[in-house]
Amino acid sequence: MSQFLPEAIQSLIPNIIQIIYLIATGFFIVGIKRLGSPSTARSGNQLASFGMLMGVAVTLFDQEIISFEFIIAGVILGALIGAFAAKKVQMTAMPEMVAIFNGFGGGASALVAWGEISRLDPSLFDIQSLATTGLSILIGSITFTGSFIAFGKLKGFINGGRVALPGQNYINLILTAVALALVGWFTIDPASQPVFWALFGLALLIGVLTVLPIGGADMPVVISLLNSYSGIAASMAGFVLGNNLLIISGALVGAAGLILTNIMCQAMNRSLVNVLFGSFGGDEGAGGGPDTGDKSYQQTFADDVAIQCSYAKKVVIAPGYGLAVAQAQHVLKEVANLLEDKGVEVKYAIHPVAGRMPGHMNVLLAEADVPYDQLYDMEEINPEFKSTDVVLIIGANDVVNPAAKTNPGSPIYGMPILDVDDAKRTIVFKRSMSPGYAGIDNDLFYSDTNQMFFGDAKKSLQLLSTAIKELD
């Protein structure tokens, strides 16, 4: 586009582009910073998107760009698909959406590296560019196929459990080592087509094989990690092109993904190595022991729950993914409103892995108009359970299982949980007595202070709402 400008300006363009890139970088950093607080988050996202618009617009003036047919067609097609998906997606399906967007981002970075090497004579590349081209293709391709497998698992197209060959972990390690060796080979001999294609194909395969064995319950970790990969892939593409904006933005995203991965691992009390190479909710679900025997539990019904809640001072609601599956967020909010009208203090206790991705439950409740200052993180709410009269546990199981604190043999031992057993009364909304996602029996159900309210979460909450209204 630069050819349309006066010559005096043309000579300045490379510098102008760099300065705009610098400003865009600032927008990204301030944007991410503002994403850190609920009151400024929306403006932060808008700031970042504006930075992106600036970066893209000014790049069109790059003297290297001489034709626009592909650019216009590509941007229009991509924008239509992206906008359509963003408008249509259900909030419960947000993890799938993020996973697939991630995959596209990683795939784009791999394509950029491939395009650059096929566009120019490889002999023009120095060692740095070649090595980063190889890495960009490797990481970008792993992100691409890995994200699609994660998407399939979350959607239920692919078996959510552990799908693995015997010795899968060793196979993956060996394949990764081979792939890194191929990056080295490619750096030395970039003109070799077989080496290039072997690297590309192997990277795509590794993405499939590393995500396939990971159980559905671990998907929050996987999505966070793939998010990090997509950032690193973009950063590597920046090394290839010598573009600082790409390097910096990619590094920011890479760091963000790593931190979230770490937070998710801590919330499940597992190391990253254990998530990637161990199995959970698979076939080794011993430990907790199947000694369900004849422990007894108390059952309760809507009228009784209504009375207990209405005459309580403080009610805490502990929602889990089951709430979202039953699409019961709105009824829940209705129940909470009714209780608040009666002067009951209502709070929500959100475990870090309550949804299918970090912070997912908060989004689902926000969609049901629950104000965010009623949502409490685990650390904030745990000391409060002692002064809580009733805890309503809806669609959650493992995150309130006291075995995590008391039973060293349990697979979830050590995982931080919501200390609901400190409360005077817990009421578990559940379909039946079946164990949860991790397949572990929950002693809370048999506690003296606990009552079970059986049924579909949405129906139960509707019954509860009616029962509370009838109390007046």
Nearest-5° Cα angle at 308, 307 to 313 = 115
Positions 116 through 175 that interact with another protein (CB under 8 A): 116, 118-120, 126-128
Residue pair 160/95 in contact by the 8 Å Cβ criterion:
no
The torsion angles phi and psi of 419, rounded to 5 degrees, stand at -80, 55
Look-up: residue for tokens 């009733």?
A: 390
Question: Is residue 416 close enough to count as binding another protein by CB under 8 A?
Answer: no
User: Beta strands of 258-374 (E only): which ranges?
Assistant: 298-299, 314-319, 345-350
Among 41, 163, 198, 205, binds another protein (CB under 8 A): 41
Closer by beta carbon to another protein, 97 or else 461: 97
**Any catalytic annotation for residue 398?**
yes
Find the part of the chain contacting another protein (CB under 8 A) among 77-85, 184-192, 310-318, 431-439: 77-85
Among 23, 35, 180, 198, binds another protein (CB under 8 A): 35
CA distance 226 to 98: 10
Question: Is residue 3 close enough to count as binding another protein by CB under 8 A?
Answer: no
Among 15, 70, 193, 434, binds another protein (CB under 8 A): 70
Q: Between helices 360-367 and 94-119, what is the axis angle to 10°?
A: 120
Closer by beta carbon to another protein, 214 or else 440: 214
Among 13, 23, 91, 325, binds another protein (CB under 8 A): 91
Closer by beta carbon to another protein, 234 or else 452: 234
Taking the complex as a whole, how short is the minimal distance between the CB of residue 470 and another protein, in angstroms? Answer: 23
Positions 330 through 359 that interact with another protein (CB under 8 A): 340, 350, 352, 355, 357-359
Look-up: residue for tokens 């910096």?
A: 248
Positions 214 through 253 that interact with another protein (CB under 8 A): 223-224, 227, 230-231, 233-235, 237-253
Closer by beta carbon to another protein, 247 or else 305: 247
Residue pair 443/282 in contact by the 8 Å Cβ criterion:
no
Among 14, 16, 42, 313, binds another protein (CB under 8 A): 42
Among 67, 193, 299, 434, binds another protein (CB under 8 A): 67
The torsion angles phi and psi of 11, rounded to 5 degrees, stand at -70, -20
Question: Is residue 197 close enough to count as binding another protein by CB under 8 A?
Answer: no
463 HSE (CA, 13 A, CB side): 15
What are residue 392's DSSP bridge partners? 317, 427
| Radius of gyration in angstroms for the set of CA atoms belonging to the chain, rounded to a whole number | 26
Total binding residues toward another protein, as defined by CB under 8 A: 117
Question: Is residue 90 close enough to count as binding another protein by CB under 8 A?
Answer: no
Closer by beta carbon to another protein, 44 or else 213: 44
Among 46, 90, 266, 466, binds another protein (CB under 8 A): 46
Q: Looking at 218, 398, 421, 441, which residue is catalytic?
A: 398
Residue pair 8/56 in contact by the 8 Å Cβ criterion:
no
**CA proximity to 423, closest of 460, 463, 399, 393:** 393
Taking the complex as a whole, how short is the minimal distance between the CB of residue 471 and another protein, in angstroms? Answer: 20
Closer by beta carbon to another protein, 97 or else 427: 97
Contacts of residue 414, Cβ cutoff 8 Å, sequence gap at least 6 = 269, 404
Among 16, 188, 307, 369, binds another protein (CB under 8 A): 369
Question: Is residue 74 close enough to count as binding another protein by CB under 8 A?
Answer: yes
259 HSE (CA, 13 A, CB side): 6
CA distance 137 to 180: 11
User: Per residue in 14-46, is it b (16+ CB within 10 Å) or e — as a string?
Assistant: eeebeebbeebbebbbbbbebbeeeeeeeebee
Instruction: Go through the chain and tell me how many residues it has.
Output: 472
Q: DSSP letter at 281?
A: S
Among 5, 75, 286, 471, binds another protein (CB under 8 A): 75
Question: Is residue 59 close enough to count as binding another protein by CB under 8 A?
Answer: yes
CA distance 147 to 313: 46
Question: Is residue 371 close enough to count as binding another protein by CB under 8 A?
Answer: yes
Question: Is residue 255 close enough to count as binding another protein by CB under 8 A?
Answer: yes
Taking the complex as a whole, how short is the minimal distance between the CB of residue 317 and another protein, in angstroms? Answer: 15
Taking the complex as a whole, how short is the minimal distance between the CB of residue 405 and another protein, in angstroms? Answer: 21
Closer by beta carbon to another protein, 31 or else 288: 31
Question: Is residue 22 close enough to count as binding another protein by CB under 8 A?
Answer: no
Among 60, 173, 188, 273, binds another protein (CB under 8 A): 60
CA distance 36 to 207: 31
Question: Is residue 453 close enough to count as binding another protein by CB under 8 A?
Answer: no
Closer by beta carbon to another protein, 23 or else 256: 256
**Amino acid making up residue 127:** I
CA distance 143 to 105: 8
Question: Is residue 194 close enough to count as binding another protein by CB under 8 A?
Answer: no
CA distance 373 to 382: 16
Catalytic residues: 398
